[in-house]
């Protein structure tokens, strides 16, 4: 029996769920691959600023699936995503599967490929994915509305960022997950208006062995001005440091030119509900001065273990 | 490769096989607890292959090469205590994730990286879990 879809993902504007026995083995800013015990099962390739037309889609698929025969009439139809282009593909080597071309908010597109199992030696007939597994994955696909926040979820952590923010860098190392999102370019100098840094660290009991959360923060973020003067006593939960330089005519001019001061920082730190993870949100530049935005981002940043 | 995933090579160990393997601690390793509560692994060093070869050629008996100490952090010590020659890698990952409340994939990466480091130093041997029909002949992977 096929495993139920349990691992929730939100990546680059696409939300989906993966079966329990599928593992994300490759994760890049614009590429994701999930494998099961037999081999690759799902691939998603994102592209910015590409309109899906018959010609662009065929050209793209020609590069992704060289030599494969495409059948657009036989693709699955998805009620939740009516404008999706779907197709089946098959290669003379026996490699076959289903595909979708999706239009996402922010002028992005995604090409999703669900691979059948490779045929055994001496055969060219691929072993199809169980219908229930394919249906569970395709049925879980959703495109969250682009405004005002874009949700992200990976490896049991969910967060949201303003829709205009883009993923700059990330890593998922054991004990430390990290995301950096940069704001849109502003001013004559076209520099990002700010950046948001999300860190999830654990286990908290090991990291905070002989230290308070405050002491630990000064070692983890040693380069930031985390001291009594910047400690914000009005933090709704956990700890918060706030270092905002007062506006002067010169600073305002610099900001208009696009030279945003990333020295304006707000760092929020708290423990998750189970007190096992340290959650950190560091805002630099424009988002650091936007208190309602910061509260919203903190509220949307949480650990959500897969079912 | 994108779009057309290549078939796995015949000799490659699958993830499932690796998770089903049983880490067996090297019997020569001594586990020492320090006064501060830290766990140290004391293990004998081997001579370099060229030294052994030279000793064999000159029929010289080599003295012991000494010992080396590896201090484990809290998570490493916790995992080391679970390596009993019975639990599989998957068992260790599951217990690690549950005890430290980590994401299963995160726990798997942490435990497998730790085992890889121990394996490089010869402190554990990964033994393929014997199948039911040839249980008496475990094979090294």
Q: Average pLDDT of A250-263?
A: 75
Which of A140, A165, A183 terminates a domain? The answer is A140
A-chain CB neighbours of B3 within 8 Å are 43, 45, 63-66, 113
**pLDDT(A168) > 90:** yes
Cβ burial, residue B21 (10 Å; 0-12/13-18/19+): buried
pLDDT for B85 equals 93
Residues of B in contact with A64 (CB under 8 A): 2-4
pLDDT at B110: 94
May I ask the CATH architecture of the domain B15-131?
Answer: Alpha-Beta Complex (3.90)
Closest CA to A95 of A63, A71, A72, A128: A128
The confidence band for B141, taking pLDDT boundaries of 50, 70 and 90, is very low
pLDDT digits (tens, 9 = 90+) for A119-134: 666 665 666 667 778 8
Q: Are residues A131 and A191 in the same domain?
A: no
Give the residue from A219, A217, A218 showing the smallest Cα distance to A278.
Answer: A217
Give contacts of B19 with chain A, Cβ < 8 Å.
none
Which candidate in B2, B12, B95 is best for mutational testing of the A interface (most A CBs within 10 A)?
Answer: B2
The predicted pLDDT at position A122 comes to: 63
| Contact call for residues A192 and A260 (beta carbons, < 8 A) | yes
Q: Are residues A127 and A153 in the same domain?
A: no
Q: How many separate domains does chain A show?
A: 2
* DSSP 3-state of A162: strand
Q: Give the model's confidence band at B140: pLDDT under 50 very low, under 70 low, under 90 confident, else very high.
A: very low
Averaged pLDDT for residues A158-187: 93
Question: What's the mean pLDDT when you consider all of chain B?
Answer: 84
Mean pLDDT of chain A: 85
Position with higher pLDDT, A210 vs A294: A294
Q: For an interface test with B, which of A41, A117, A121, A174 has the most B Cβ atoms less than 10 Å from its Cβ?
A: A174
Map tokens 């062995």 to a residue: A209
| Dist CA A20 CA A2 (whole Å) | 9
Other C-beta atoms lying within 10 Å of the C-beta of residue A244: 13
Residues A35 and A129 in one domain: yes
Residue A184 has pLDDT above 50, yes or no: yes
Residue numbers in B near A206 (CB within 8 A)? 73-75, 100
Does pLDDT of A160 surpass 90?
yes
A136 and A165, same structural domain?
no
pLDDT at B135: 43
Has residue B93 got a pLDDT over 90? yes
Which pLDDT value is given to residue B117? 94
CB-nearest partner of B102 from A37, A202, A209: A202
Q: Where are the domains of chain B?
A: 15-131
Query: Each residue of B61-75: pLDDT tens digit?
Result: 888 878 899 999 999
Of chain A, the percentage scoring pLDDT greater than 90 comes to: 40
User: pLDDT tens across A3-42, in order?
Assistant: 455 899 999 999 999 998 898 989 999 999 998 888 889 9
Q: Which residue of A has its CA nearest to B13?
A: A37
Q: Rounded CA gap, A259 and A268, in Å? A: 24
Domain containing A78 — which CATH number? 2.60.120
| pLDDT above 70 coverage of chain A, percent | 92
As for the ipTM of the complex, it is 0.76
- Domain holding A71, by residue range, is 5-140
Q: Does A92 touch chain B (CB under 8 A)?
A: no
On whether both A34 and A157 belong to a single domain, the answer is no
- Render pLDDT for A48-104 as a digit per residue (tens, 0 to 9): 876 777 778 888 888 888 888 888 877 777 777 777 888 888 888 777 888 898 888
Residues B16, A66: C-beta atoms closer than 8 Å: no
Compute chain B's Rg from CA coordinates: 19
pLDDT at A2: 46
Answer with the one of A94, A110, A140 that is the final residue of a domain: A140
Q: What is the pLDDT of residue A6?
A: 80
Nearest CB to B5; choose among A31, A40, A172: A40
Q: For residue B8, give the nearest of A39, A45, A277 by CB distance.
A: A39
Final residue of a structural domain among A86, A110, A140 = A140
Q: Please indicate whether, in this complex, the C-beta atoms of A43 and B103 are within 8 angstroms of each other.
A: no
Contacts of B15 in chain A (CB under 8 A): 23, 35, 37
Would you state the structure tokens that stand for residue B67, as one six-digit string? Answer: 């010992």
Contact A40, B5 (CB under 8 A): yes
A49 with A135, same domain?
Answer: yes
């Amino acid at each position: 029996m096929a495993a139920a879809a349990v691992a929730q993902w939100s990546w680059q504007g696409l939300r989906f769920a993966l079966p329990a026995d599928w593992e994300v083995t490759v994760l890049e800013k614009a590429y994701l691959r999930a494998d099961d015990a037999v081999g690759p099962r799902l691939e998603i390739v994102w592209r910015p600023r590409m309109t899906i037309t018959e010609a662009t889609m065929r050209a793209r698929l020609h590069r992704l699936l060289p030599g494969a025969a495409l059948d657009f009439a036989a693709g699955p139809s998805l009620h939740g995503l009516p404008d999706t282009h779907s197709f089946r593909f098959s290669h003379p080597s026996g490699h076959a599967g289903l595909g979708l071309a999706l239009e996402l908010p922010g002028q992005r597109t995604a090409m999703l490929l669900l691979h059948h199992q490779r045929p055994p030696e001496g055969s060219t007939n691929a072993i199809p994915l169980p219908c229930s597994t394919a249906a569970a994955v395709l049925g879980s696909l959703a495109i969250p509305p682009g405004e005002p926040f874009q949700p992200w979820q990976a490896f049991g952590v969910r967060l949201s960022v303003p829709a205009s923010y883009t993923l700059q860098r990330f890593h998922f190392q054991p004990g430390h997950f990290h995301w950096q999102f940069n704001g849109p370019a502003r001013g004559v100098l076209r520099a990002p208006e700010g950046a948001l840094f999300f860190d999830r660290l654990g286990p908290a009991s090991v990291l905070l062995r002989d230290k308070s959360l405050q002491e630990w923060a000064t070692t983890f973020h040693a380069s930031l001005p985390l001291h009594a003067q910047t400690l914000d006593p009005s933090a709704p939960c956990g700890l918060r440091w706030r270092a905002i330089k007062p506006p002067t005519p010169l600073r305002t001019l610099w900001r208009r030119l696009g030279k945003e001061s990333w020295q304006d920082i707000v760092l929020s730190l708290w423990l998750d509900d189970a007190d096992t993870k340290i959650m950190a949100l560091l805002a630099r530049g424009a988002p650091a001065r936007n208190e309602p935005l910061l509260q919203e981002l903190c509220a949307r940043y949480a650990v959500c273990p897969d079912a | 490769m994108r779009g057309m995933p290549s078939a796995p090579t015949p000799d490659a160990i699958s993830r499932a096989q690796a998770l089903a393997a049983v880490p067996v601690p090297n019997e020569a390793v001594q586990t020492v607890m320090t006064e501060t509560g830290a766990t140290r692994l004391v293990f004998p060093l081997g001579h370099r292959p060229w030294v052994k070869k030279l000793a064999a050629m000159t029929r010289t008996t080599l003295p012991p090469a000494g010992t080396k100490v590896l201090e484990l952090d809290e998570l490493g010590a916790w995992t080391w205590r679970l390596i009993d020659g019975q639990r599989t890698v998957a068992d260790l990952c599951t217990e690690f994730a549950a005890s430290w409340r980590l994401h299963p994939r995160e726990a798997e990466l942490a435990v497998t990286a730790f085992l890889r480091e121990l394996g490089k130093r010869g402190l554990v041997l990964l033994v393929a879990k014997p199948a039911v029909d040839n249980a008496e002949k475990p094979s090294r992977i």
